[in-house]
Chain A
Amino acid sequence: MKILIVDDFSTMRRIIKNLLRDLGFTNTDEADDGNSALPMLRSGKYDFLVTDWNMPGMSGFDLLKEVRADEQLKDLPILMVTAEAKRDQIVAAAQAGVNGYVVKPFTAAVLKEKIEKIFERIQ
């Protein structure tokens, strides 16, 4: 299971990386916005994408749309972990095809639950 973590703050990437490691996912890579994430996704055979929304360069929402529009990547499961908490935004993310949505600040238990739920639905 190879996971890409996209967040502009290195601290948040580190926290998510640690939480994922505790859940048994040790094969993770990091990117700091959509622009750097997209080429990694296209060449790196990732199984799962965890992304923030608000980032300089390409936002997580645009990254979500790019991934869904890409023939090769469109089925990649995506979990959004973000401080964006407006109803319109959550609805828009759902309509754009996000698989899960976690609002910051979050707990390890919530992250675990959402990730497990996504994999449950995929299998």
Chain B
Amino acid sequence: MSEDNQNGPGLDPEITSQLKEQADELVKQVNAGDYASAMTVINDLSEVRDQSLYREVGRLTRSLHEAIRNFQVQPQNPEQQEALSKMSDASDRLQYVVEMTNNAANRTMDLVEDAMPRANAMCEQAKSLRDDWQRLRRREMAPAEFRELYGRIDRFFESLSEDAEKMYGDLSEILLAQDFQDLTGQVIHKVTALVKEVEDNLLGLVVMASHVDQLTGTVHDLKEKEASIKGEGPQMRAAERSDVVSGQDDVDDLLSSLGF
């Protein structure tokens, strides 16, 4: 341990006073010409230094151990229990988000699948009526045909107002199905806050671990793992990254550069 560390926060006052005492003793022995005793004092001095080092490493190791134990699955005290229930609460909450979005998507698709054929039928009927109407205007229609058209137009108006009303109802239900965004948004914000908290604690753990490594001179053999082709899911902030495409146009450019 170097000289400047004496002013550092790590050293015990007990050790500093011991050092001071022994240094005075050393000066006394040297002045008295008793070199044999002086050598013993020097030995004692280095022992005190070693001991303070061991104590420091021990303290850090203990905190590290405690911190790691806090991340264990088996809670051993109420505090750990609370931290754990926060985590399982977070996964429950995210499960809730999955369910909510799943329900909303299915509800919306049910309504859309229901409305689509009706919109299609409305469109077909209107087209056929328009064709016949134009024939009528060109005076190409026989009276019997006209009577039939007359009845169809009547029925069309009736079904049109019914279908349009139904469709309006479907659309407003689709609108309501989007209420999950508000609820899931709140839940995700809460979970994000928890993740931030865990990250801060983990960061503290890393700093502590590196302290222990520094004091003990441990060097870790960290080999960079080969990057694997694994699915990662949606890319956030794709526009800011060069290893990620920013959209379908980018994909098409990349593929065409490969001869696709």
Contact = CB atoms under 8 A, between A and B. Distances in A.
Interface of A: 10-11, 14-15, 18, 53-55, 59-61, 82-92, 94, 101-104, 106, 110
A87 B238 CA distance: 11
Contacts of A94: 255, 258, 260
A87 B254 contact: yes
A101 B233 CA distance: 15
A92 B109 contact: no
A88 B229 contact: yes
A101 B251 contact: yes
Contact of B232 (A60, A86, A90): A86
Nearest to A84: B231
Contacts of A92: 229
Contacts, number: 72
Given A14-B109, A15-B109, A87-B254, A103 B231 contact: no
Nearest to A102: B248
A84 B105 CA distance: 21
A109 to B, nearest CB: 10
Contacts of B229: 61, 88-89, 92
Contacts of B258: 91, 94
Interface stretch (B27-35, B214-222, B239-247): B239-247
B245 A83 contact: no
Contacts of A83: 233-235
